[in-house]
Structure 1
């Protein structure tokens, strides 16, 4: 009965949306897409090769994403429609939400992408959608957009499709042939949270689709016995997004879920999106959003896991409530909780231990390991590598420098707490 009413509303909204101008619909659907944080182009190369030409092969709705090498690129980030037959409590586009509804046709999305690209506004497309009629019908329309861009118009720019978990295997397989990256949102950090806030979505189905994507991505990288490569499948890999602060999940719960996703499905990124209160919100949702600093700390902890050799369990071990310290970044908080391991010898410590020194990044550690093969390093050598000596001095010793033993955690913690002036946005 509920689904039938939703379909009747869909027909009404479709009739109304067709009366809106393209610019009006673009304003609505690009604004609705801002809640999707999993928009990144990292990991995907350009779709051009020697002797191949196509639109986009040289190397409002516009968002910015960052590649691993730090480049900022622009994407057309929109929803196909903000109508949805699902009623997820945390989503502003849920079926019971009183928002202005509209939609694009697939051909309109194709036209917008091409026109934005020709004007040098964008380098690619990020396309998501509410669920209209059925998951299969919605996914068919999104695949249609990608297919038209690639095969009919020769579009060589970046395409990221937010796939629908309940879509068929055939649709998923075709989507990966045209998209650089695919993503499926796990939505909530725990299965209990998903069942409570989005009962129409099933964690098992989401994980099954992610597993199928991993299998196809891996298969696309393998050569056959004849040496031929199979058709490339989503070369930018897959990503996901989870909402932070809508339920009672702790940072430990969130990071444990992320760890499982990274190891089980080889995700390129897990995006953390701080819950934002929405109009006409469900009574089960919190009244106030979590501090944005919590989202930032989760990204820092995620970075430590992916690039610094940390395990998620040790990052949150210092806090008995399973929450990250909002006053200090996770790496510094871990070092203060494990101060018996410091200071370490700048010239003898392993690369793995140097990566755990607050103030040292991956690049600076690599430079240190390379440089100390040829000379004995001192503090002034770190300064020439643009390392903040104030941050590293309590945790390193070398010729000419030996810090006071880290016996007073409280005083050292106070020394690293930001001043009130540093708490401003800039």
Structure 2
């Protein structure tokens, strides 16, 4: 790699860091004779760990950070005076292959600013994936960002080479999207989502008839919404997520706390730091929607439109519904156990499987991974709890479970250490 390519790499990797929708597994692609690498199944996130303990790493980069759009929330907007760079298709392919051979990465996460028009940009993204697969016989993981407004032919071609495709929704409501990004609309985002969904479902049906039929985006699709840049409540955001999850091919909705990168734009809120706690609560609520059989209106509604920032959504729901508790661990159904704070899907399955052989107490619950500190106020088991939510009341339980505030030490005062 020459100095010019290294400079481009630094600029484009920096520009790509704000996109968080980069799941880095979820599919299996075996190596073939004469090929390069493979993709091991399991779920993970860029620069994090998968379920089986593997560290996942992707080359997360943009093809170019030039863009014809002037989105208020984007660092790469056309009106910003920032370092710009563009990698050619061959340069990006060579980078990916060299990084993979040196064991720096396990795959590629590729996005791009929009140059000329969506189809021109999308065609170049597809060429990168196509060259990796067909010329270099690369079997590692590839995640492509589909460009909003791209044609159906290009999106379908991208699905033949990529493991996952994603189209970012960015702003949850059309009204606020138009206010911050006048050149965009939700129709241009939802249309390629439908193309991806159709391609995946058609591929699934075809593979039922023909075992070796080519796969289309086998890891599904994902999207991302920005949190805190506009006035949407958590209820608005979760309603959008819930509707997206109704489609079988939508694997993940990502939430990105707004980072104030364009402070001069008065349409944006002046945030000193990203709303990371709110982002975390949305991920927790999203998990409850996907795996714990909760509905949006159970977590947030017209009376409580935003999630509680002090406690997690599941505990918040439990404190608002004391009539649901206490739950008898030795007799309750799996679906009921999932509603108990401190009990997850794995713990609930172990409880249901284990109680056929013996009655379960607090010791057994702890061994199964349940968080007794939370669960003790909401359950009864082989040992009677000292006090449940009914004896203590929701307010008292909330105080007991709130994180203890860190003691603030006034550095202007002298302190004596008698520990010795």
Output the TM-score relative to the length of structure 1: 0.89
Distance 1:412 1:422, change over 3 A: farther
Paired residue for 1:156? Answer: 139
Query: Where in structure 2 are the equivalents of 1:210-359 lying within 5 Å?
Result: 210-223=193-206, 227-228=210-211, 230-264=213-247, 266-279=249-262, 281-288=264-271, 289-317=273-301, 320-359=303-342
Distance 1:280 1:344, change over 3 A: closer
Equivalent residue for 1:369, pick from 335, 352, 368: 352
Q: CA deviation at 1:281?
A: 3.6
> Secondary structure of 1:420's match?
coil
Equivalent residue for 2:47, pick from 49, 56, 64: 64
Does the aligned pair in 2 maintain the 1:222–1:229 contact within 8 Å?
Answer: no
Q: CA deviation at 1:321?
A: 4.4
Tell me the distance in 2 between the aligned counterparts of 1:253 and 1:199: 21
Tell me the distance in 2 between the aligned counterparts of 1:68 and 1:316: 30
> Secondary structure of 1:114's match?
helix
> Secondary structure of 1:268's match?
strand
1:27 aligns with 2:40: no
Paired residue for 2:416? Answer: none
Does the aligned pair in 1 maintain the 2:23–2:46 contact within 8 Å?
Answer: no
Equivalent residue for 2:395, pick from 410, 413, 420: 410
RMSD value over aligned CA atoms? 2.1
Equivalent residue for 1:206, pick from 170, 186, 189: 189
* CA displacement 1:317-360 (0-9 Å, x = unmatched): 4x834110000001111111111111100011110010111111
Distance 1:207 1:365, change over 3 A: same
Q: CA deviation at 1:280?
A: 5.1
Paired residue for 2:405? Answer: 420
Query: Where in structure 2 are the equivalents of 1:378-417 lying within 5 Å?
Result: 378-407=361-390, 408-417=393-402
> Secondary structure of 1:259's match?
helix
Tell me the distance in 2 between the aligned counterparts of 1:128 and 1:393: 47
Q: CA deviation at 1:147?
A: 0.4
1:86 aligns with 2:69: yes
Equivalent residue for 1:107, pick from 59, 72, 90: 90
1:54 aligns with 2:39: no
Q: CA deviation at 1:417?
A: 0.4
Q: CA deviation at 1:53?
A: 4.5
Tell me the distance in 1 between the aligned counterparts of 2:90 and 2:407: 49
* CA displacement 1:62-86 (0-9 Å, x = unmatched): 9515445453311000000111001
Does the aligned pair in 2 maintain the 1:274–1:290 contact within 8 Å?
Answer: yes
- Figure out how many residues of one structure are paired with residues of the other and give that number: 400
Q: CA deviation at 1:230?
A: 3.4
Does the aligned pair in 2 maintain the 1:80–1:105 contact within 8 Å?
Answer: yes
